[in-house]
Amino acid sequence: MYKRIISICLLVVTTFCSCSNKAGIINDNMPNTTASNNLVQYPSDSNDSNKDTDKKDQSNTDIDIKSLDSSRLNRSEKNWFFKPKKDGTPAEEPQDILNLINKYSAYYLGDTSKKVMYLTFDEGYENGYTSKILDILKANNVPAAFFVTTPYVNTNKDLIKRMVAEGHLVCNHTTNHPSMAEVAAKDSSKFENEFLVLEKAYEDVTGQKMPKYFRPPMGKYSELSLYYTQKLGYKTIFWSFAYSDWDPKKQPSEDYGRKIIMERSHNGAIVLLHAVSKTNTEILDGVIKEWKSKGYELQSLDKLP
């Protein structure tokens, strides 16, 4: 009898896992996109990924952080994901995730009532393409946000100065690129230091204060990390578009890159591209021109609603 019960349980577990895989629950170190109905994510709990999504626009409502007891906030690590659409409508999030990020000045969409988009680049290290990317942005009169680490600032001072001089935002991506959910759970002072060391490096190079926009490394976050981030005066910037562009040794074809970017473009999109990508660099000019031909305006994160 017990053997029969165990066999049935194993069958149920195996069936559930198979369904999760077919639904596009992707476990990788960075976002992946392999089918039109996939969830696109950094590593994520299948439980969060399988919840029903709600098509409501993101409307950001800050809370009074002074009234919160941080000891009561959830410390469990989450992984950012989104459900992409191919019909020109915004990528989706489960309502519980929307409720959470709306509490703490976090965005994954901008103004979805207008044909506007927000172009962002993650810069963990320099791969020789940023100068050309800046040339393309300048030629097309397009602003962007570059999320950088402290080592990037210290080893690419001329590029940082050029970004600022040409009207782009240079934003916080931490000093050491850790999971900020893990850091928040262990030590609030180390969490703060991940921000402050980079702020100082940026100020030393530019003579300016760093813009208060933050992108969590690897898309990892928790309620506590969102709270600490807001307490430091930052807005957390997730994204509603990303694709597998981060590995210089496994670059997508230019045709594929252009196709997936255009078919998943939508009002209010916060677009994440990696500046280490040769493919992104080669297709960027054409993609920007196609966005503009379709009526999209590329805006700075400073224009977020």
Q: Is 23 a domain residue?
A: no
Any domain includes 70: no
What is the pLDDT at residue 70? 82
Q: Which of 87, 122, 168, 173 is catalytic?
A: 122
Provide the H-helix boundaries in 23-63: 46-49
145: in domain: yes
Q: Which domain holds residue 240?
A: 28-61+78-303
pLDDT at 1: 46
Quick one: three-class SS letters along 219-285?
HEECHHHHHHHHHCCCEEECCCECCCCCCCCCCCCHHHHHHHHHHCCCCCEEEEEECCCHHHHHHHH
Low-confidence ranges of the chain (pLDDT < 50): 1-39, 42-62
CATH number of the domain that residue 225 is part of: 3.20.20.370
CA angle centred on 95, ends 194 and 44, rounded to 5°: 50
| Cβ neighbours of residue 304 closer than 8 Å, sequence gap 6 or more | 107, 110, 111, 118, 235
Q: What is the pLDDT of residues 214-232, one digit of tens each?
A: 999 999 999 999 999 999 9
Residue 8, in any domain of the structure: no
122 is catalytic: yes
Active-site residue, from 45, 52, 274, 285: 274
Total of domains in the chain:
1
Residue 138 lies in a domain: yes
Query: Does residue 15 lie within any of the structural domains?
Result: no
Alpha helices in the chain (DSSP H): 2-22, 46-49, 95-103, 130-139, 150-155, 157-165, 180-186, 188-206, 223-231, 254-263, 278-293
CA distances for 129 relative to 209, 225, 246, 256, angstroms: 26, 32, 13, 19
Annotation says 266 is catalytic: no
pLDDT for 100-119, tens place per residue?
999 999 999 999 999 999 99
Predicted local distance difference test score (pLDDT) of residue 12: 32
Q: Is residue 43 part of a domain?
A: yes
Residue 277 lies in a domain: yes
